[in-house]
Chains A and B, each alone.
Chain A
Amino acid sequence: MRGERVFVLDYDLVSPLGVGNAAVLSSLENNYLAGGRITRFPTEGMNFSIAAEVKGDLSGFYSKEDSRIQQALHFDRKLELMVCCFHKMKSRLEHLFSGIAPERAGVSLGVGSDVIPFERVDQVLNRFSDNPSLAYGNAIDTLNRNGSRIHNVLNPCDFTALYLAGKLQLAAFQQVILTACAASTQAIAMAFNRIRGGEADMVLAGGTDAIIDMISYTAFSKLGVVASDKEAVNQTCRPFDISRDGTLAGESASLIVLAGEKTVREMSLEPRLEIIGYGNTLDGHKITAPDPNARGMIRSLEQALSHSGIRPEQVDYINLHGTGTLANDPLELMAVEQVFGEYAQELPISSTKDRHGHAIAAAGGQEFVITCLCMENDLIPCNVNLRKPINETGVRLIKDENISRRLDVCLTSNFAFGGVNTVLAVKKV
């Protein structure tokens, strides 16, 4: 893969681990686990009731935002998280993008599906209880009849990208990727491509998603992928542990500013890190389960190395997808063992999902930012909830304690429903 070098200029994160880089880093250093009882909707009678929520009232971040947006984000959590992330970074973003012609700046986001949170539209729904067959439609109609193109519910899935494009004058493109758990990883990869291909000088990448509403949470638990409540609330998700029984539902929004080498030089910017390549493959196996031989995962890791022009031994750490589900975790370890051979026994690997949960379409963005934070602070986060690994000899799963060690090259991987495997390679500048 040849073309212009692509640098990470800035990033930020709204996560169950905290709002903003400093809070997230502190949580990582202190092994904070964000899992807890769900507070966003009642959970009486539910089999599962634990999730990793972004805690606290976020309204302070966007109190000066347009009233129509403020109304909409009451119903759309993923929009709220992204608006919060934008305002957290606002002055930095405005400073960076002010030097770029709008037609040379774009936005690339991974986002999740829109779900109407019944619990938030409860009162409006009940107004139409005399005509249940049209209650759903009448509720949407009522909520959206605000004389504006900004809907309260069911905005187009690229609405967040359009919001950001309007705020920062990102005219080159506004693209949205919908590949489930790899969506924001791919959004970063596609942003990288746009810069390498010379179509843009600066791109705002990232993602947002939230699945802690009654319908989404129930749907995922019915699929059998949510961890049970058997353990303490912050120990339900145990990636790579022999006793793992599911993942931890999460939510997050992230923003990452990428720019090409020429832009960095001409604007005398200071890049923080460099994206050196990526791997991106399909399993083509089953929608419900990864390839049992991890072939797609293996090819994505191999591609990430070859596209980046690095040898396996140059990788200092991999932030794995590590969901804590029965099907996913052993295959990821199999892939690492296969690709890295003997070096896999030395190469530190971990998943941070036991700390912040699975943010689905936003998972890749969240974990990319965490990887960047770890690289800038030479920190390898351990699997906090790992007691007895499923693979004790072939790979080096970091457990018990975080490690302080210089990190020059790292990978971050996400493996999605439907068999999408995406790996990003990042290098210290």
Chain B
Amino acid sequence: MKRKTFITACSFRAPGLTAFEDIIIAMNHPGFTAAFQTIRLSDRLETNVARLAGETASPHYPSGSKLKLMRTDVIAAIICAGELMEQAGLDAVDILDLPLYISNGSSFDLGIEQLLEITSAYMKQSAADDWSKRYQRVYASLPPMYVLRTLANAAECFVAQKTGARGDNATFGGSSHATFLALQEVLRKIESHEAEMAVLGTCNGIGIFSAFTFGSPHESGFQWRESEGAGFLLIESEASLSRSGRRPMAELAFLEASKTIPDIFSDARDETPYREFHHDLAEYCIYSGGLSGKSHETQARTCEKKWQRSFSWFHPLGNMGNNAILINMATAIALFKQGDTEQVDCVNRDSHGRESLIKLQAFGG
């Protein structure tokens, strides 16, 4: 790290987790688990999804006219971003050029009912049917705002509206690793002195597309479990900190990513996670990314060997997609607040075996 950087505000949502206290309570209760709902996808596959509770009472809950364009993960992102700005107490001038990098999970997960309606409209045929009639049915069944509801950068757009952040930006996509790439962009912006603070956001929707996309249909007994979520971090340089007077929640001490090129042609999966990470390891590790129970177990074994203490949200929350890395970081902050540890390695392994390590240091630790 060329410059010291700190997390000075943090807001997040995952099923059952809305505050640092929730994290500590959930970690200390082995029985804690999100309420998963099972959706049958095909004759062979089903998905288990954990949704966020609606938060209509939040002062950051969007207004009615905008709601019809928003997915639930986008609403959660707006609430988190609003809370972040409130926590940080940023003024409009600070916010205007605030860089905003978002990692967005599957945005194409329309309600399954809508997809079925479109499919059914397409398939319905009679002897007198021609393409024209079929098309008319599809046209009628397609929601007018389909493009906007499925827009991959919807969270970024609405967060900019809500917060007034209008600076450098990008929405990174793909797997959970996209969050690490977005964080790298945040740090580059600060390290190059182009900005003294920047925002990292995450947003993960749930539905059938991600199950089909990231699922592992070749693994026997495969059960896809995924949870909805969002989160935002404000990251600042030391110089910015001395001006703002904000108290850091954690220091970003070190970042590393594996350099293994995912091999899309090979069915073999590397079963030796985190072997590229040799930097001084922290005492504690929060890990994520095991797609299925089997790969999670492999990760768990490695992490238990490599680190003195380890924890994962896999069992209670399933896959958190693009929200995973941020929830891991929030968990580290919660542990710092408890005085439980002074350094945490947040590690993630995505569906293609790309790995990242983010070392967080308790402030003053």
Instruction: Determine if chain A interacts with chain B.
Output: yes
- Contact surface of A with B, Cβ cutoff 8 Å: 1-3, 42-46, 66, 68, 102-103, 111, 113-115, 118, 125-126, 129, 131-138, 140-141, 144-145, 147-151, 153-159, 161-163, 165-166, 169-180, 186, 190, 193-194, 196-197, 199, 214-215, 218-220, 222-223, 280-288, 296, 299, 416-420
**B257 on the A face (CB < 8 A):** yes
Docked pose: A163 CA to B264 CA in angstroms: 7
CB-defined contacts of A137 to chain B, threshold 8 Å: 40-43, 45, 208, 212
CB-defined contacts of A280 to chain B, threshold 8 Å: 168-170
- If A158-B175, A175-B181 touch, whether A285 touches B213 (CB-CB below 8 Å) is no
Nearest chain A CB to B120 CB, angstrom units: 5
CB-defined contacts of B100 to chain A, threshold 8 Å: 282
Picked from A134, A135, A177, the residue with its CB within 8 Å of the CB of B172 is A177
In the complex, are the beta carbons of A176 and B174 less than 8 A apart?
Answer: yes
The stretch among B184-192, B234-242, B246-254, B294-302 that forms the contact with chain A is B184-192
In the complex, are the beta carbons of A219 and B146 less than 8 A apart?
Answer: yes
Nearest chain A CB to B276 CB, angstrom units: 11
In the complex, are the beta carbons of A132 and B120 less than 8 A apart?
Answer: yes
CB-defined contacts of B262 to chain A, threshold 8 Å: 162, 165-166, 174
In the complex, are the beta carbons of B188 and A193 less than 8 A apart?
Answer: yes
In the complex, are the beta carbons of B166 and A114 less than 8 A apart?
Answer: no
- If A126-B123, A136-B116 touch, whether A166 touches B265 (CB-CB below 8 Å) is yes
**B352 on the A face (CB < 8 A):** yes
Q: Which of A129, A177, A199 has the most CB of B within 10 A?
A: A177
Nearest chain B CB to A166 CB, angstrom units: 6
Chain B, range 164-211, C-beta contacts under 8 Å to A: 164-175, 178, 181, 184-185, 188, 191-192, 194, 208-209
**B267 on the A face (CB < 8 A):** yes
The 9 residue pairs across chains A and B that have the minimum distance between CB atoms: A45-B132, A158-B174, A418-B157, A137-B42, A178-B152, A284-B160, A178-B173, A137-B41, A282-B160
Chain B, range 143-159, C-beta contacts under 8 Å to A: 144-148, 150-154, 156-158
Docked pose: A197 CA to B185 CA in angstroms: 10
Chain B, range 256-270, C-beta contacts under 8 Å to A: 257, 259-267
Picked from B153, B191, B213, the residue with its CB within 8 Å of the CB of A155 is B213
In the complex, are the beta carbons of B150 and A215 less than 8 A apart?
Answer: no
Nearest chain B CB to A302 CB, angstrom units: 12
Known: A141-B41, A223-B148, A419-B160. 8 other contacts (CB 8 A): A113-B150, A148-B267, A149-B266, A149-B267, A169-B261, A194-B188, A284-B157, A284-B160
Q: Type the 1/0 row for B116-158, where 1 means its CB is closer than 8 Å to any CB of A.
A: 1011101100000011110110110010111110111110111
CB-defined contacts of B41 to chain A, threshold 8 Å: 134, 137, 140-141
Docked pose: A307 CA to B265 CA in angstroms: 41
In the complex, are the beta carbons of A218 and B147 less than 8 A apart?
Answer: no
Docked pose: A151 CA to B213 CA in angstroms: 8
CB-defined contacts of A285 to chain B, threshold 8 Å: 161
In the complex, are the beta carbons of A214 and B135 less than 8 A apart?
Answer: yes
CB-defined contacts of B153 to chain A, threshold 8 Å: 178-180, 416-418, 420
- If A45-B135, A284-B160 touch, whether A161 touches B151 (CB-CB below 8 Å) is no
Docked pose: A398 CA to B111 CA in angstroms: 46
In the complex, are the beta carbons of A178 and B259 less than 8 A apart?
Answer: no
Nearest chain A CB to B300 CB, angstrom units: 23
In the complex, are the beta carbons of A141 and B142 less than 8 A apart?
Answer: no
Nearest chain A CB to B185 CB, angstrom units: 7
5 pairs, CB–CB < 8 Å, chain A vs chain B: A129-B123, A132-B123, A133-B116, A135-B123, A141-B217
**B275 on the A face (CB < 8 A):** no
**B307 on the A face (CB < 8 A):** no
**B69 on the A face (CB < 8 A):** yes
Nearest chain B CB to A396 CB, angstrom units: 29
In the complex, are the beta carbons of B147 and A175 less than 8 A apart?
Answer: no
CB-defined contacts of A118 to chain B, threshold 8 Å: 119, 122, 138
Docked pose: A305 CA to B166 CA in angstroms: 18
Nearest chain A CB to B161 CB, angstrom units: 5
In the complex, are the beta carbons of B42 and A418 less than 8 A apart?
Answer: no
CB-defined contacts of B178 to chain A, threshold 8 Å: 158, 175-176
In the complex, are the beta carbons of A179 and B171 less than 8 A apart?
Answer: yes
CB-defined contacts of A162 to chain B, threshold 8 Å: 262, 264, 352
Nearest chain A CB to B152 CB, angstrom units: 4
**B351 on the A face (CB < 8 A):** yes
**B214 on the A face (CB < 8 A):** yes
In the complex, are the beta carbons of A44 and B135 less than 8 A apart?
Answer: yes
In the complex, are the beta carbons of B169 and A420 less than 8 A apart?
Answer: yes
Nearest chain A CB to B32 CB, angstrom units: 30
Picked from A156, A166, A171, A287, the residue with its CB within 8 Å of the CB of B175 is A156
CB-defined contacts of A161 to chain B, threshold 8 Å: 174
CB-defined contacts of B217 to chain A, threshold 8 Å: 141, 144-145
Nearest chain B CB to A43 CB, angstrom units: 8
In the complex, are the beta carbons of B172 and A223 less than 8 A apart?
Answer: no
In the complex, are the beta carbons of B265 and A66 less than 8 A apart?
Answer: yes
Docked pose: A170 CA to B120 CA in angstroms: 42
Nearest chain A CB to B183 CB, angstrom units: 12
**B115 on the A face (CB < 8 A):** yes
Q: Which of A151, A178, A296 has the most CB of B within 10 A?
A: A178
**B107 on the A face (CB < 8 A):** yes
CB-defined contacts of A176 to chain B, threshold 8 Å: 172-174, 178
CB-defined contacts of B279 to chain A, threshold 8 Å: none
In the complex, are the beta carbons of B172 and A136 less than 8 A apart?
Answer: no
Who on chain B is nearest to A291 by CB?
A: B166
**B305 on the A face (CB < 8 A):** no
Nearest chain B CB to A309 CB, angstrom units: 14
Who on chain B is nearest to A221 by CB?
A: B139
Picked from B170, B181, B214, B265, the residue with its CB within 8 Å of the CB of A173 is B181
CB-defined contacts of B139 to chain A, threshold 8 Å: 46, 218, 222
- If A137-B41, A214-B135, A286-B161 touch, whether A156 touches B174 (CB-CB below 8 Å) is yes
Picked from A138, A173, A215, the residue with its CB within 8 Å of the CB of B43 is A138
